[in-house]
Amino acid sequence: MELGMGNNIVRSAVSSRHMIECRRLTKVYLSGENETHALRGVSLTIDPGEFVAIMGPSGSGKSTLMHILGALDTPTSGEYLFESRDISTLPDDELADIRRTRIGFVFQSFNLLPRATVMRNVVLPLVYAGVSREKREERAAQLLRQAGLEETHWTHLSNQLSGGQIQRVAIARALINDPALILADEPTGNLDSQTGEVIMATFAELNESGHTIVVITHEAIVASRAKRTIRIQDGLVVSDQHNGHTPAAHPAAVSDQNKREKMRA
């Protein structure tokens, strides 16, 4: 099955532009006179259409890096270019707009509204965007089917579902605005191993349909499902390797990024 918006799958020549470019990122947290250096000069690039795992133990700085990549935080120093735009010093309202329109989040704790139905959870971002009820429910139904959640569950409250079903809902919600980047923070952390495998297979299918996927994890087996693994330790990139795949930017993702850059020019 193919996940994502079919009308955005456009074939074109692969570009060398990066979707993500981090240049010497640092992040220092202050507590009184004490300083904690969470990131110590991280530099990396991720191209459109890649499937990347950022892996590290607790305290490695991977969560701090995830927050910066997701426009949830800004670095103390360095530059973060997202879709060729330096967003490391943007004000909160502009960062919020990027999060809303360009990044889809999938969290370990799911972050669904427990007293809202599956359908309501998925369509909510489109409600805020002013999309008509008919169009937003049509879009949500498409994504829920593609994520593998049976229609009989759509009227259930999210707290009536299994962990795997909830994560499928979270993936559908992450896709609802057709973002450029899917950022998943420990997406299998609350799931059994078999369900975790299914969720990672879903991400692989998303990647094959042109989505850029970045998964944050501390588990080697989860990282191995990605096409590339970046290891973080003590706030530094200690390795960056491809997992037996030939990395290539997906033409659909590159085409989408190129169009948006032309619109900004």
Over its C-alpha atoms, the chain yields an Rg (Å, rounded) of: 18
From first to last of the 265 residues of the chain, give the pLDDT tens digit: 444 444 333 323 334 489 999 999 999 999 888 999 999 999 999 999 999 999 999 999 999 999 999 999 999 999 999 999 999 888 999 999 999 899 999 987 778 898 899 999 999 989 888 899 999 999 999 999 988 889 999 999 988 999 889 989 999 999 999 999 999 999 988 888 888 898 999 899 889 989 999 999 999 999 999 999 999 999 999 999 999 754 444 444 444 545 555 544 4
Q: Is-contact 51 226, C-beta < 8 A?
A: yes
Per DSSP, the three-state class of 112 is: coil
Task: Find the helix or strand (DSSP H, E) in which 232 lies.
Answer: strand 228-233
Instruction: Determine contact, residues 112/166, Cβ cutoff 8 Å.
Output: yes
DSSP3 helix / strand / coil % (the chain, rounded to 5): 40, 25, 35
In CATH, what number does 50-67+104-264 get? 3.40.50.300
Domain boundaries of the chain, sorted by first residue: 50-67+104-264
> Which residues lie closer than 8 Å to 179 by C-beta, 6 or more apart?
101, 102, 103, 104
pTM comes to: 0.82
Nearest-angstrom CA–CA distance, 87 and 188: 29
Half-sphere exposure at residue 29, Cβ-oriented, CA atoms within 13 angstroms: 9
Q: Which two tokens stand for residue 194?
A: 């078999």
